[in-house]
Amino acid sequence: MAAKFFEKLSNNYLELLEDKEDYNVIINIGEAPNVKIFQAHSAILKHRSLYFHNELKIAEKDKNNIKTINLKNISIQQFEIIIKYIYGGIALLENLEASFIFELIHVACKLFLEELVKYLETHLIESNAHWLRLHFDRIYQKSFQNVNLLILQIGVMIFW
């Protein structure tokens, strides 16, 4: 029988994210003058996201052996949720508007975070059915532009 201690592990990785030592990746989020710098660890990023795996392969190291990735089309708030998911396996969605969650789904798709995408799709359908109905055309068009949004596509068709 195996014991599982995922909560403590998750907390330790979130602490690692906050620790300003031993990082080897800088991620710049947003566009000037609203840029936020996140310090991260390539080993975690490349194993949790195919997007980061691919980006880290081609990113050049600076004189301090640090690689830089620029993500201009992602908001700081979106990336804070994404990076906490990557490190700690958590996604805090309380008090987030449905439109924000819908856009977050597309960011998670871009970063190849399949597990998070499925969770966000399900959450949006279960918690924001009214919003989905009100914005049916937009949801329908954007969700069918991405073959990976199957749960949302089915959910939208049910509301039709």
Q: Which residues, 6+ apart, have CB-to-CB distance to 148 below 8 Å?
A: 109, 114, 117
Neighbours of 17 (CB within 10 A): 18
Q: Which residues, 6+ apart, have CB-to-CB distance to 128 below 8 Å?
A: 98, 101
**pLDDT for the residue numbered 35:** 93
Q: Which helix (H) or strand (E) holds 26?
A: strand 25-29
CATH, domain 6-90, list 3.30.710.10, 3.40.50.300, 3.40.50.720, 3.20.20.70:
3.30.710.10
**pLDDT for the residue numbered 114:** 92
Q: What is the pLDDT along the chain (160 residues), one digit of tens a residue?
A: 777 789 999 999 999 999 888 999 999 999 888 899 999 999 999 999 999 999 999 999 999 999 999 999 999 999 999 999 999 999 999 899 999 999 999 999 999 999 999 999 889 888 888 887 787 777 777 776 776 776 666 665 565 5
The per-residue DSSP string of 75-112 comes to -HHHHHHHHHHHHHS----TT--HHHHHHHHHHHHHTT
Instruction: List the domain boundaries for the chain.
Output: 6-90
**pLDDT for the residue numbered 147:** 67
pTM: 0.87
